[in-house]
Amino acid sequence: MSGIRYSLNRTCSPDLTLAQFIELAKAVGVDAIEVRNDIPGREFADGTEAAVISAALSEAGLGLASINALQRFNDWDRDREEEALSLVRYATTLGAPGIVLCPVVDAAHGWSESELEEKLQHALRMLRPILLDHGVTGYVEPLGMKGSTMMQQRAAVSAVTDVAGWDAFRICHDTFQFYRCGDAQMFTEQIGLVHISGIERTDLPPDELTEPDRGLVFGNDRVGNVAQLQSLLAAGYRGFVSIEPFNPVVQQDPRLASQLGKCINYVRAEIREERVEARASQ
């Protein structure tokens, strides 16, 4: 056993009902799911009460990796505060360990470097007491696409450190986002949640890849998921690793359960416990 706990992000199959998605997760044999608030007509954007989701997960023997996500969290205003409070309260009722925090992505944001830092720190300061009051962790997720206002992991780590926020925050490490922006420094000790997805196409440079290119992780993966996960495991990471494809071909594959199982088995075969332990002891 590698110690990884696997999860299915709702992006694996957004067209399924909650009950169907839970059955998919059970069939694949994962430990948890990630619910999202950005899929129209699905929980919990459709008004599904947290208690309903919690009961369904409990009956299925599944946990919850996170709620994904508070968008534009670093553009803090009264509306963002109300949204954060609502989301955190929902997470508390649901029993979610944390919520994902995504930065503004807008090529025309117009913020200077100093404004980027100030806005990020301000948002973290405002979020921290809300999270602490409810016992919920904020998973700060750098996004590597063009127009992102927080692309690299060190910016997130620096900001959380500057506001003395490690009692309320952890980093959400997305292997694709890390690869897409050419990030070179992984802050393994501060990571609390991991998203994985694979890229097969070879006709585009990393910074031209988009969300629909994100599939499952197999041997022809360009992202380097296996190497990234091995680094995390060697550093002692034992949290959730959530599979997060956005490719419609994957999402609508009639063999999805089988393909997800093959993906997890491939990762498990590549990340061997003895290899990780040997690295950790050096």
Between helices 18-28 and 256-270, what is the axis angle to 10°?
Answer: 40
Which has more pLDDT, 279 or 211?
211
Average pLDDT over residues 130-142: 98
Residue 103: pLDDT band with limits 50, 70, 90: very high
Tell me the C-alpha distance between 57 and 32, whole Å: 8
Would the pLDDT of 58 be above 80? yes
pLDDT at position 255: 97
Q: How many residues does the chain have?
A: 282
Would the pLDDT of 50 be above 90? yes
Residue 146: pLDDT band with limits 50, 70, 90: very high
Positive or negative: CA dihedral 60, 15, 254, 174: negative
Question: What is the enclosing helix (H) or strand (E) of 94?
Answer: helix 78-94
Q: How far from the centroid of its chain's Cα atoms is residue 199's Cα?
A: 17
Positive or negative: CA dihedral 122, 124, 127, 128: negative
Phi, psi of 188 (to 5 degrees): -60, -35
- Ordered by where they begin, the domains of the chain are 5-280 (3.20.20.150)
Give tens-digit pLDDT for 214-273. Answer: 999 999 999 999 999 999 999 999 999 999 999 999 999 999 999 999 999 999 999 974
Tell me the C-alpha distance between 279 and 266, whole Å: 20
Tell me the C-alpha distance between 109 and 182, whole Å: 21
pLDDT at position 17: 96
Tell me the C-alpha distance between 160 and 190, whole Å: 10
Neighbour tally for 236: CB within 10 Å: 11
Neighbour tally for 249: CB within 10 Å: 9
Tell me the C-alpha distance between 188 and 199, whole Å: 23
Tell me the C-alpha distance between 94 and 153, whole Å: 28
Tell me the pTM: 0.94
In the structure encoding, which two tokens stand for residue 208, read together?
């031209």
Tell me the C-alpha distance between 197 and 66, whole Å: 17
Running DSSP on this structure, what letter comes out for residue 12?
G
pLDDT at position 276: 31
Tell me the C-alpha distance between 18 and 25, whole Å: 10
Would the pLDDT of 99 be above 60? yes
To the nearest whole number, what is the mean pLDDT of the chain? 94
Would the pLDDT of 280 be above 80? no
Would the pLDDT of 277 be above 80? no
Q: pLDDT above 90 covers what percent of the chain?
A: 93
3-state SS assignment for residue 138: strand
Tell me the C-alpha distance between 22 and 37, whole Å: 17
pLDDT at position 273: 41
Within the chain, how many helices (H) and strands (E) appear?
Answer: 10, 8
Give tens-digit pLDDT for 167-225. Answer: 999 999 999 999 999 999 999 999 999 999 999 999 999 999 999 999 999 999 999 99
